[in-house]
Amino acid sequence: MQWTRSLGLIACLAFGSTQAAPFYADKSLAHPLIVGLAESSATLAFIKQGGGVKGYYSTDPDESQPQLLDDFGDATIESVFNVALDDESLTRLVLFKQRGQYRVHAYRYNEDDRLYQRLENLQPALDRIAKDRKKLDAPTVKQALRQLTPLNYSYFYEDSGFDEFNQLDHSAGTLVGYFDQNGQPITANPPGAEQYSYKKTFAEKDGRFLTATYWRGETPALEGEPLLYNYRASRIAWETEPQRFTGSEDGACVEYSDSSRAVAAQGTYAHGQRTGEWGIGGPHNSWSQGRYIDGKRQGQWSLSNESEGYFMTGEYRDNLREGRWTINLVESEIPESGGFVTYARDLRNGPSEVREGGVVVERGDYLDDLRQGPWLTREGTGNFDQGLRSGPWQLKTAEGHTHSVGFVADKMEGELRDTDTKGVLRVIEHYRGGILWGTQEGYNDAGQLMYSYNYENGQREGRSLVYSADGKVLLSDMSYHNGNQQGPYLTFLADGSPATVGRVEGSDFIGLMTQLDEHGQIFSATPRCRFESYRSEVRNCGMAREFRQGRVTRERDYLFGELQEYREYDARTGRKTRERVIGEDDKVSEITYYDNGQIDCQVNKVGFEWMTVNQQRLKNHGQAKLAGEQLCYHRNGAIKSRELIDNGLSACRIVYDESGKQLSSSPTGCGAAGQ
């Protein structure tokens, strides 16, 4: 019984864990419990412990696993409230008093990790609001925050490379003004629909101002009053005329990416023009670096691209790339991996080459930034004309095959020949304007035809032939129109004798579909037709037959897809085993037989359902209902049972033995009435 006691203990522990008390249960609270925070639906509790106050929150339904919000020390919690500072989630604020001094902390909830994060970038502004206050409450804090220029304080920016920029308090500074999408000053009160950016200054030295430009992004404003946008720093620079949107930069400057807040450009200006060493970001995680002289790139520059894995170096003259630029693969330790490209006035002009592991994978000339003349590419070899493949080409495939085909204006034209790694011809195709058009033929190792299709405008059209593995026997002959099977449908056995003979229209068999066995004998013959009922459809129509060794084993008569009469036969003796017969007055009998030909049971039905086909009403006797006397017989022909069906229900049933003696009846005593 040891194991039963263990199971009981485990069950108790499991029950206890699911019924764990909330984290704030039996705790001394420094502020009333807050349930269902607007921004996270979390429960927030300020708990007195260790001589101070700590804030905890939980987003779990059972509230048993809390997260620490903050340690407030020896404090009293005065107020907990939220405010909308931008178009992201609400900002949660806690107003508390510590050793007689008011303080405010701000937090932002992250829905991805379900955690709160302290807004350190907003803290300097909150400290200014609370400093030396004799009285402070939530409305006063909210009103003070509304006086700040709009900004998303949860953003963190990549190291700019300049300490004075990294140490900026973006909540401070002096507002210069707002600007529209074209950088023109706007005098209207912000933030509004036209205020795409604004500028603030933070310091002044020798007639230059440390200036930050903030951009709101392209996302729509959060509905409400005032409008809320995600403003963030887009540029920090020393400027002589901050009231101008651009053009007065003089000194260090950094620009940030619109999407990632990563550094997009870094360097120095002189009188509004870039000068000295600069680093500039580009698409696909690229970064270029070199010198500016009087606002133009000059001399040696480098370009690295992490996404595409290469590093380039070359020369700029008056802001234009010139001469040979070398290419090295970033992660390659093989010196033979790389290449070069030649420029003239910032356009690729002249020879270029790419090597991998010492093997040339691309080589050719450019003319005005377009490939021209003979080229070796990763796809194959051939000629370009103004950047477009032209004339004969040899293309490589993933399987190692070679395609020989011509191009006109970068589109395949004419015959394509596919050869395998041994040089054996495998496929011949024909193209027109890059689209399959004409015959497509496939061959085996011995060069024998395996299949032959025909295409028009990329779709199968006409006959499609498939042959056996040795190419000697036709296995299928099917016809297509506009990519769909249409017309004769023929399949053949390994010896070439017919296997299936039919016709397809709209991918459906129409007319008589015949299937034959390996002896050339029919084993299935099914007529099919198209008709309109509640929709257009194709189904079995008329008498469908199945055969075995030349003998009929099944006959089924269909009325536009609905089975009516049928007969089944023993393949060995030819005797009927079951059938359905439709008689006069809509009477239907379903009969099964013993192997000696004697009737086993005869189920009698009556009635039909109307069906409308091709706008004509027809009787469907396949839906007849049980009615009248139902009979079953012994093998000797004597009645085994008789049952009377009235309104679909059994009214009387009598059972007999092989001598004709009544054995039972239901209900009792119905025998006389049934005889």
- Strand locations in 124-283 (E): 174-179, 185-186, 197-205, 208-215, 232-239, 249-256, 263-270, 273-282
Model pLDDT, residue 269 = 97
CA 495, CA 463: separation in Å to the nearest integer?
21
Tokens for 519, please give them.
């002896």
Model pLDDT, residue 39 = 94
Q: What is the mean pLDDT of the chain?
A: 91
Model pLDDT, residue 190 = 63
pLDDT, one tens digit per residue, over 189-217 is 666 788 899 999 999 999 999 999 999 98
Q: Which domain holds residue 62?
A: 16-146
192 and 267, same domain (yes or no):
yes
Tokens for 79, please give them.
């107020």
Residue 52, domain member (yes or no): yes
Give bridge partners of residue 411 from the DSSP assignment: 408
Tokens for 327, please give them.
């290419």
Model pLDDT, residue 292 = 97
271, 287, 320 — which closes off a domain?
271
109, 130, 146 — which closes off a domain?
146
pLDDT for 6 beyond 60: no
Model pLDDT, residue 285 = 82
Q: Are the C-beta atoms of residues 505 and 512 closer than 8 Å to each other?
A: no
Q: Say if strands 370-376 and 359-367 run parallel, antiparallel, or are unpaired.
A: antiparallel
Model pLDDT, residue 151 = 93
Model pLDDT, residue 661 = 93
Model pLDDT, residue 4 = 37
Number of domains in the chain: 3
pLDDT, one tens digit per residue, over 436-462 is 999 999 999 999 999 999 999 999 999
| DSSP 8-state code for residue 647 | T
pLDDT for 5 beyond 60: no
For residue 625, CA distances in Å to 232, 314, 607, 619, 647 come to 79, 92, 6, 14, 9
Model pLDDT, residue 271 = 95
For residue 517, CA distances in Å to 466, 495, 504 come to 19, 12, 21
Model pLDDT, residue 335 = 57
Residues whose CB is less than 8 angstroms from the CB of residue 300 and which lie 6 or more positions away in sequence, other chains included: 290, 291, 313, 314, 315
- pLDDT over 90 for what percent of the chain? 81
pLDDT for 11 beyond 70: no
30 and 142, same domain (yes or no):
yes
Phi, psi of 184 (to 5 degrees): -90, 140
Q: Which of 155, 157, 152, 148 is nearest to 175 (CA)?
A: 148
Per residue, the 3-state secondary structure of 47-109, as one string, reads: EEECCEEEEEEECCCCCCCCEEEEEEECEEEEEEEEECCCCCCCEEEEEEEECCEEEEEEEEE
373 and 315, same domain (yes or no):
yes
Using 50, 70 and 90 to split pLDDT, how confident is the model at 218?
confident
pTM higher than the cut 0.85: no
Is residue 621 classed as helix, strand or coil in its secondary structure?
A: helix
140 and 39, same domain (yes or no):
yes
pLDDT for 526 beyond 80: yes
125, 146, 167 — which closes off a domain?
146
Residue 224, domain member (yes or no): yes
Q: Are the C-beta atoms of residues 228 and 84 closer than 8 Å to each other?
A: yes
Mean pLDDT confidence for 287-300: 96
> For residues 261 and 479, which has the higher predicted lDDT (pLDDT)?
479
Mean pLDDT confidence for 8-14: 36
Residue 509, domain member (yes or no): no
| DSSP 8-state code for residue 221 | P
The Cα angle at residue 451 between residues 449 and 454, in degrees rounded to 5: 120
Model pLDDT, residue 279 = 96
Q: Are the C-beta atoms of residues 393 and 407 closer than 8 Å to each other?
A: yes
pLDDT for 45 beyond 60: yes
Residue 101, domain member (yes or no): yes
pLDDT for 12 beyond 70: no
Please, is 18 exposed, middle or buried when counting C-beta atoms within 10 Å of its C-beta (0-12, 13-18, 19+)?
A: exposed
CA 555, CA 557: separation in Å to the nearest integer?
7
pLDDT, one tens digit per residue, over 154-175 is 988 999 999 999 999 999 999 9
In terms of residues, how long is the chain?
A: 675
Model pLDDT, residue 10 = 32
Centre a 10 Å sphere on the Cβ of residue 635 and count the other Cβ atoms it contains.
12
Residue 487, domain member (yes or no): no
Model pLDDT, residue 2 = 38
Mean pLDDT confidence for 69-83: 97
Residue 290, domain member (yes or no): no
CA 324, CA 339: separation in Å to the nearest integer?
10
182 and 140, same domain (yes or no):
no
Minimum mean pLDDT range among 10-24, 481-495, 542-556, 640-654: 10-24
Residue 442, domain member (yes or no): no
29 and 134, same domain (yes or no):
yes
Model pLDDT, residue 284 = 78
- pLDDT over 70 for what percent of the chain? 94
- Which DSSP helix (H) or strand (E) runs through 2? helix 2-18
130 and 229, same domain (yes or no):
no
Tokens for 612, please give them.
């409308």
Is residue 155 classed as helix, strand or coil in its secondary structure?
A: coil
The Cα angle at residue 337 between residues 331 and 340, in degrees rounded to 5: 110
Question: What long-range pairs does 355-361 form, CB within 8 A, spacing at least 24?
Answer: 356/329, 356/332, 358/334
Tokens for 279, please give them.
């680093």
Model pLDDT, residue 17 = 43
108 and 191, same domain (yes or no):
no
Residues whose CB is less than 8 angstroms from the CB of residue 445 and which lie 6 or more positions away in sequence, other chains included: 424
Model pLDDT, residue 8 = 39
pLDDT for 237 beyond 90: yes
265 and 305, same domain (yes or no):
no
322 and 246, same domain (yes or no):
no
Percentage helix, strand, coil for the chain under 3-state DSSP, each rounded to 5: 10, 55, 35
pLDDT for 481 beyond 50: yes
185 and 262, same domain (yes or no):
yes
> For residues 224 and 194, which has the higher predicted lDDT (pLDDT)?
194
pLDDT for 394 beyond 50: yes
Mean pLDDT confidence for 629-650: 92
pLDDT for 1 beyond 50: no
Model pLDDT, residue 387 = 97
Residue 287, domain member (yes or no): no
Model pLDDT, residue 138 = 97
56 and 106, same domain (yes or no):
yes
Q: DSSP for 98-145, please give it.
A: ETTEEEEEEEEEETTTTEEEE-GGGHHHHHHHHTT-SS--HHHHHHHH
State the Cα torsion 54-60-64-67 to the nearest 10°.
-30
Q: Examine residue 32 and say whether the peptide bond preceding it is cis (omega within 30 degrees of 0).
A: no
Q: Are the C-beta atoms of residues 479 and 465 closer than 8 Å to each other?
A: no
Model pLDDT, residue 245 = 96
pLDDT, one tens digit per residue, over 327-385 is 987 665 555 688 999 999 999 999 999 998 889 999 999 999 999 999 999 999 999 99
Model pLDDT, residue 106 = 98
Q: Which of 202, 216, 119, 122 is nearest to 162 (CA)?
A: 202
Model pLDDT, residue 221 = 65
Distance of CA 123 to the CA centre of its chain: 42
Q: Which of 162, 189, 370, 331 is nearest to 255 (CA)?
A: 162
Centre a 10 Å sphere on the Cβ of residue 248 and count the other Cβ atoms it contains.
19
Model pLDDT, residue 672 = 46
